[in-house]
Chains A and B, each alone.
Chain A
């Protein structure tokens, strides 16, 4: 790597990261879609932390909840597919970051919060959600889709040549 540019191997590594995160999103979405009774209500009702009231309120509004359920199920799946394909990668990253921020805020592992939802690890401020969020930020800023992904083709077909920056 010279002058802050990423080497071929670094880009490959980031592409692998992108596909892995996408895979996880896609399966989270599909698993919810294929479970007939899935709803975010339980998760929302368990919310703790500074935004707990907002999430609980959301869970208590049946119309909003139904929409939130649909958006979550389809949104996660869509973000997953886009990340795997490297299509509209930046948009997908932003969408994914949005979802994770919400999940994170609903149950933030801040000092002094304990949860009735059992977790399989031990977290303080940083949990796996936050790590996945950071991964998406890396993918976002390195534009992995334009290295390996349908964005390359899209860019080739419709993109404007960037005059030397």
Chain B
């Protein structure tokens, strides 16, 4: 080795073998890179300080003294989504976490409690939510992210205990459950927001208020299509050392660890992909059209998965009919879990233009102007949409006007980007409403109407026929 050879030259040899003596030079050389480790430690320390300062800044800043009280929050259901919501809430000023409740005390509960600790939120951990409601008297709000079949009981009990509630979609796996939630919110007068977070997403709000509302870019919407295609994913599992004892699993309504982790796929626990994924987007259909559907036709099946381990349909294709104030409309939606092609989006088509929108930045939002539509220059000037692609090209190559370039429909981008986590604005809206400074973007009545529309798809698949809705189906 090169380094050795150098050394060999410098130190006089004393023998063929035997321990070498260390001289001062060797020790210095030996220790020469140790300071780099110290420097790393220092840099890392500064980095953590910086992050901590940002968190404290966020926690302290906009809560003007005396103006707004701190809201005491608990998380009920600390799974994947519970963690996502927690991370988003940590960015919202004026919240104080008090408690975390989750039956998976061996793993999920610990994980969220630890992540809160890092942000200086000392919380009490509970397995049973009733014990939490008994002991945590000062709680103002509970954020619920348990499996769908627990939502109704959890929400109703929290509301009755006098807490405001943010509950994840699907608001319930049964309509009775969902109705009980709406009634409880009315009876108690507490806020109940359901987690259809697109309702607070600036991209969707801009499209709804400005593009469809004010500018009416699409003209009359006649058809919609949308999808959530998801690539095959292995079933969720859990390391054996974190397994929940059988008695506790049974107590909370799960057959075994497989069902506990993959509850979405089981009847009576979740609603399968159409409910899990579709409800987000079918919610947007009705919101943007301004009416609930009048009928639904659907086909679905277990085309790929074994119904023994995946009870709900892995593939669903469905068509809704709408009677809008300006005429009939039809909407297609599909979800499948074997191929993620083109991911998820909603595509609204009117007689003057098309809006392609998605929560995912892969599609973001784009509008396409149909040739017969009036010019959109005003809206470009106001910054509602960007200049179309073709125009940009012309501007760059000044003086070279190529008529062939403007043949394809103009594509305008919707220049609204959400830099925060996607759930943050919806949570922010909820806490603003708790403070009386905003109205809920997705109150339980709205989410109930969506639940009626979405849960009917599974019914229609079983009935193998077109099912109609009465307007009163959507109200309580």
Contact = CB atoms under 8 A, between A and B. Distances in A.
Asked if A pairs with B, the answer is: yes
A81 interface: yes
Given A148-B33, A163-B16, 12 more contacts: A6-B2, A30-B44, A36-B114, A65-B237, A144-B3, A149-B29, A153-B26, A157-B20, A160-B19, A161-B14, A162-B4, A163-B17
Contact of A161 (B1, B2, B15, B238): B15
B1 A153 contact: no
A59 interface: yes
A156 interface: yes
B407 interface: no
A138 B316 CA distance: 55
B40 A149 contact: no
B13 interface: yes
B3 A156 contact: no
Interface in B231-249: 233-240
B116 to A, nearest CB: 9
B8 A164 contact: yes
Contacts of A154: 30
Contacts of B37: 81, 84-85
Interface in A9-66: 11, 15, 18-19, 22-23, 26-27, 30, 34, 36-37, 45, 56, 59-63, 65-66
Contacts of A163: 16-17
B83 interface: yes
A127 interface: no
A64 to B, nearest CB: 9
B17 A146 contact: no
A135 interface: no
B68 interface: no
B419 interface: no
B123 to A, nearest CB: 14
A149 B30 contact: yes
**Chain A interface mostly:** helix
Contact of A36 (B18, B21, B111): B111
A157 B23 CA distance: 11
A20 to B, nearest CB: 9
6 contacts: A15-B33, A23-B36, A63-B237, A152-B29, A156-B22, A160-B18
B interface residue count range (under 10 / 10 to 19 / 20 to 34 / 35 or more): 35 or more
Given A37-B83, A37-B115, A149 B32 contact: yes
Contacts of B33: 15, 18-19, 84-86, 148-149
A113 interface: no
Nearest to A158: B19
Interface of A: 4-6, 11, 15, 18-19, 22-23, 26-27, 30, 34, 36-37, 45, 56, 59-63, 65-66, 81, 84-86, 142-144, 146-165
Given A23-B36, A23-B40, A66-B239, A150 B30 contact: yes
Given A142-B3, A143-B2, A161-B13, A155 B36 contact: no
Contact of B3 (A11, A19, A160): A11
Most buried by A among B27, B34, B234: B234
B432 to A, nearest CB: 27
Q: 8 tightest CB-CB pairs across the interface, nearest first?
A: A60-B234, A62-B237, A153-B30, A156-B22, A152-B30, A147-B3, A36-B115, A143-B1
Nearest to A165: B5
B6 interface: yes
A161 B18 contact: yes
A27 B47 CA distance: 11
A157 B4 contact: no
B20 A155 contact: yes
A19 B36 CA distance: 7
Contacts of B396: none
Contacts of B26: 152-153, 156
B25 to A, nearest CB: 9
Interface in B215-236: 233-236
B31 interface: yes
Contacts of A155: 20
Given A19-B36, A84-B36, A161-B13, A153 B22 contact: yes
A5 B20 contact: no
B30 A61 contact: no
A4 B6 CA distance: 11
Given A60-B237, A62-B237, A85-B37, A161 B3 contact: no
B18 A84 contact: no
Nearest to B238: A62
Given A27-B44, A36-B115, A63-B240, A151 B20 contact: no
A157 B40 contact: no
A63 B241 CA distance: 8
Contacts of B470: none
A151 B30 contact: yes
A61 B20 contact: no
B184 to A, nearest CB: 32
B404 interface: no
Contacts of B18: 160-161
B4 A143 contact: yes
Nearest to B340: A116
Nearest to A15: B33
A151 B36 CA distance: 16
Contacts of A84: 33, 36-37, 40
Given A37-B115, A151-B30, A160-B18, A143 B40 contact: no
